[in-house]
Amino acid sequence: MTPDAPESAPADGPTPSAPNAGQDPRTPDPRSAAREARRAARDLFRSLWSLIVAGALVVAGAGRAAATQTRGLFDRRRRAGSPPASLDPGAVPHARSASPFAARFRRRPILLAAGAAILLPVLALGLYLLAALLTLPPLGGAVVESNQRAITVEADDGRVFATRGSFRGQKLTAADLPPHLAQAIVAIEDRRFYSHRGIDLRGLVRAAYRNALGGGVREGGSTITQQYARLTSLNQEKTLWRKVQEAILALRLESTMSKDEILLGYLDTAYFGAGAYGADAAARRYFGKPAKALNLPESAMLAGLVRAPSTLAPTRNLGGAKERADVVLQAMVETGAITQAEADAARRQSVTLKTPPEAPPGTNYFLDMIAGDVKRLAGKDGDLTVRSTLNLDLQNLAEGVVARRLDKDGRRRKVGQAAMVVLSKEGAILAMVGGRDYEDSQFNRAVQAKRQPGSLFKLLVYLTAYEQGYTPDSIMVDRPVKIGDWEPENDDGRYRGSVLLRTAFALSINTVAAQLGQEVGIPAVIATARKLGIQSDLPNVPSLVLGSGAVSLLEMTRAYGSVLSGRTPLQAYGIQAIRGSALQPLYVQTDPAPTAGLAEAPRTMMLDSLQAVVESGTGRAARVPGQIIGGKTGTSQDFRDAWFVGMTPDLVVGIWVGNDDDSPMNRMFGGEMPAGIFHDFVQRAAEKLAKGKPRPTAERAEPARAAAPAAIPAAAGEVRGVPEVIDTGTLNLRGRIVHLLGVEGERGHLARQLANYLRRREVVCTGLSDGGTARCQIEGDDLAGLILAAGGARATEDAPPDLLGAEEQARAERVGLWGR
């Protein structure tokens, strides 16, 4: 039998409910159903009254019989000359004058108790049923909100990586319903569907018996009719009240609809996971076809999802969905729907998903950000396909480098969070990291957080100065400065005397920036900020030049991108196009209308100053050999925020690190972890943009294999054999300890899993160094890459790029040690 209720819909989707009865000819009219409910209420009230009266008459009859027996006993005693010992002669006249019926009950109080024991439960049950009936909602009373829709999101190269919203599909007709799907649902959910009248008493008894044996609620007794009644008219609360109303509605459904109509209605409203409501929507969501085109193994898989749709959804748990499909096939054999041979053939037939696994958790920050834009650009109705700007390879890389740096130094330096934004030169958002873990916190620190940028804001001060006639070769004096009550100081406490503006910007000298702000005027600096797209409130105070105003990471990254591209402001966007059911796109991103832009001379001088920061200033940690890079560091007061925004000729990358509670870090400067994250990203981003990366697999049950390593010279030696696992990065091969290159091993259950995988399998390690480090292969595949792609270990900081990519894939897919 089926459980009491299907698993509820995900938190990001609407509560499962049924279509409007007025829109579906198979669903009874709510007004007609209400009239029938009132007639049923009157019938039930008459029945209950008759039952109560009958019970009273039964009790009265029992009382008369007992009184007759008692009177006979007294008569016999009087004839024998022996009155009852307990009878008071003085009380006889009074007893005779009382009601005979009352006297009998006083003589036999147990009769009164028996009558109450019979009547009170019957009366209570009757009143309970009457109240449930009188408060019964009309059939089909639950209505779907009209603005619910499904959104399919594609990456910049067309790969589908996420879906949101509710897929509804088409209403099924008898001609559209595959026989195997109907048989599968009946076999696994309600085998006696065609023989009961809405409530299966035999199934209820069996469920109660199995639950008693199991020590808890393991099986429900709801029929398909009851489930349909609940989906169309009731909420999902598991209470006795709801069960009683569900049973009454099921009886009403059976009297107004045929079995086939009930089954079709149920298949149209049941939740099948991954946002799919109804069998047709599920067929299109998982297999890319309408329900009428489903084959036997696909029908069995869909039928198996109803019990736990969110847990068994094949996009999340393909292995579990296949196991459940096997159970459904066996149930179909037991009910005679198919033969054992047909079931075995269906098990051998592969089921291929037409959609990728669920969106990697890290991409949800980006998805949350563009959700409002989708509604604004495409209206409210209809399912949509959104071509986004997100580059999945760069996204995985960004998540990986941020996580690796936080894992390595976060605890020691008291850094709890980080955010990152990657923009193209045209403003397309290629990657976004909104925080350390989306599942722990959905707050997007790249967009929603407003923090003080520190010296990062000096870009606006110097650009304003260059526009007013200053140059990087202009000279100012680094000296103590007092502006009103404000006395800015340099981070190192030193004063350098006369310096070029290029040098002052590269070394982030605060006193020079303060003087420059007074020279050009704070209102002019604010005007430059507005021109470059910063919309946050900026205080008109001298300390603004050192970043005392709170801004978002996306705003600052856009401002730096404006300098790189020359556009003012650079429009950051995450959507390329939106398509609906029609051939004509609903929206296409176009280049903004030309603006005055930045003057070429100030822009060129600013780019020169940004390069000086990386070449010889506070951003030296961001240098990447062979690449032209500019950028700026920023550190707010008391080390509460650390920033770096850097650029290549094609990309702008903004990074922020700090703590959500605004607590100070352990002397973290923007030129340290933020600049290091930039370095790690840019070092490999060009390779990914040029060559790409193997596409992610559609099934998570088996992790994708990492790219094969480069050729390893054999001159350094070779060792082979069946290994003993010490940890997931260390093997014992024929008495020799081998450390896998680029792998930081894990012990415990991960090591045991690796040992089971390598049991009786030969491993070949070549290029063995004096320290025992080598790259090993198993059956032609790189062992280190397989371990990292399966989440069995962490990659070391100096691991080769292919191994770092394998770890990033495991992080993105949350497998192994990265799983939750």
Residue that is written with structure tokens 């294999």 in the block: 705
- The model's pLDDT over 628-660, given as tens digits with 9 standing for 90+, comes to 999 999 999 999 999 999 999 999 999 999 999
Q: How confident is the model at residue 135 (pLDDT cuts 50, 70, 90)?
A: low
Residue type for 452, please? Q
Of residues 250 and 649, more confidence is placed in 649
CA distance 512 to 505: 9
Average the pLDDT over 291-309 and give the result: 92
Q: Average pLDDT of 402-406?
A: 93
Residues 711-747: tens digit of each pLDDT: 333 334 678 888 889 999 999 888 888 899 999 989 8
Q: Is it the case that residue 625 has pLDDT exceeding 70?
A: yes
Distance, CA of 159 to CA of 242 (rounded, Å): 44
- Look up residue 491 and give its amino acid: D
Residue carrying structure tokens 């790969």:
159
**690 pLDDT above the threshold of 90:** no
* Residue 308 pLDDT: 87
Q: Which of 338-347, 550-559, 650-659, 759-768 has the lowest mean pLDDT?
A: 759-768
Is the confidence at residue 264, as pLDDT, over 70?
A: yes
Q: Percentage of the chain surpassing pLDDT 90?
A: 43
Query: Does 41 score more than 70 pLDDT?
Result: no
CA distance 190 to 306: 12
More confident residue, 608 or 239: 608
pLDDT at residue 96 tops 50: no
Measured between alpha carbons, how far is 763 from 232 in angstroms, rounded to an integer? 59
Decide if pLDDT at 10 tops 80.
no
For the segment 698-717, what is each residue's pLDDT rounded down to a tens digit? Answer: 333 333 333 433 333 333 46
Interatomic CA distance for residues 201 and 220, integer angstroms = 12
β-bridge partners, 394: none
The pLDDT value given to residue 8: 45
Mean pLDDT of 600-625: 96
| 617: pLDDT strictly greater than 70 | yes
Report which of 323, 283, 276 is spatially closest to residue 299, judged by C-alpha positions: 283
First to last CA, the chain: 32
Least confident window among 101-115, 395-409, 448-462, 530-544: 101-115
Q: What is the model's pLDDT at position 479? A: 96
The closest alpha carbon to 814, from 313, 358, 321, belongs to 358
Give pLDDT, residue 79: 56
Task: Round the average pLDDT of the chain to a whole number and report it.
Answer: 80
Of 144-148, 590-594, 604-608, which gets the smallest average pLDDT?
144-148
Report pLDDT digits (tens) over 436-485.
999 899 999 999 999 999 999 999 999 999 999 999 999 999 999 999 99
How far is residue 144's CA from residue 14's CA, in Å, rounded to a whole number? 9
Of residues 272 and 217, more confidence is placed in 272
pLDDT in tens, 483-535: 999 999 998 889 999 999 999 999 999 999 999 999 999 999 999 999 999 99
Share of the chain above pLDDT 70, in %: 74
Segment 307-331, tens digit of pLDDT? 888 888 998 888 889 999 999 999 9
Residue 620: φ, ψ to 5°:
-60, -25
| pLDDT at residue 812 in the model | 76
> Which residues, other chains included, contact 316 with Cβ-Cβ below 8 Å and sequence gap of 6+?
273, 274, 310, 357, 358, 700
CA distances to 392, 449, 450 from 574, in Å: 13, 19, 20
593: three-class secondary structure by DSSP: coil
Question: Is the dihedral angle over the CA atoms 613, 617, 620, 626 positive or is it negative?
Answer: positive
Half-sphere exposure of 799 (CA within 13 A, CB side): 29
CA distances from 601 to 60, 465, 469, 561 (A): 110, 12, 10, 17
Cis status, amide bond into 592, omega within 30 of 0: no
Average pLDDT of the residues in 666-676: 96
Does 425 score more than 60 pLDDT? yes
Binned at pLDDT 50, 70 and 90, residue 338 comes out as very high
Q: What is the pLDDT of residue 698?
A: 31
pLDDT of 213 reads: 64
Please check whether residue 793 is in contact with residue 750, taking contact to mean a CB–CB distance below 8 angstroms. yes
416: left (phi over 0), alpha (psi -120 to 50) or beta: alpha
Return the pLDDT at 210.
61
Q: What is the mean pLDDT of residues 782-799?
A: 89
The rounded radius of gyration (Å) of the Cα atoms in the chain is: 38
Helix then strand count (H, E) for the chain reads 26, 21
Residue 63 has pLDDT above 60, yes or no: no
How confident is the model at residue 773, as a pLDDT? 87
Q: How far apart are CA 122 and CA 116, in angstroms?
A: 10
Looking at per-residue pLDDT, the higher value among 464 and 584 belongs to 464
Beta strands 724-727 and 730-733: pairing type? Answer: antiparallel
Q: 109 or 399: which carries more pLDDT confidence?
A: 399
What was the pLDDT predicted at 56? 54
